[in-house]
Amino acid sequence: MIAEEMGLQELRKAVLQSQQNLAELLNVKQGEISKIEHRTDMYISTLRSYIEGLFYRTTLGN
């Protein structure tokens, strides 16, 4: 069981990725990453892309 909730921004920081790095990977502007991180409601596909982008970069060690 997860003891604590983690927002998208905290998750991104936990895997040591910047908004700019993630934006480049997802082919969006950095501002779009900021918007995603502050939304309270989003499409599952948006969330999936964000999470896949984080862990793709982490897996590559970038």
Domain ranges across the chain: 8-60
**pLDDT, position 58:** 54
Confidence of residue 56 (pLDDT cuts 50, 70, 90): confident
**pLDDT, position 57:** 56
The helix or strand, by DSSP H or E, that contains position 2, with its residue range, turns out to be none
What average pLDDT does the segment 5-21 reach?
A: 91
Confidence of residue 1 (pLDDT cuts 50, 70, 90): very low
What average pLDDT does the segment 33-55 reach?
A: 91
What average pLDDT does the segment 42-51 reach?
A: 90
Write the single-letter amino acid at 20.
Q
What average pLDDT does the segment 41-61 reach?
A: 81
Contacts for 30 with CB less than 8 Å, ≥ 6 apart = 19, 20, 23
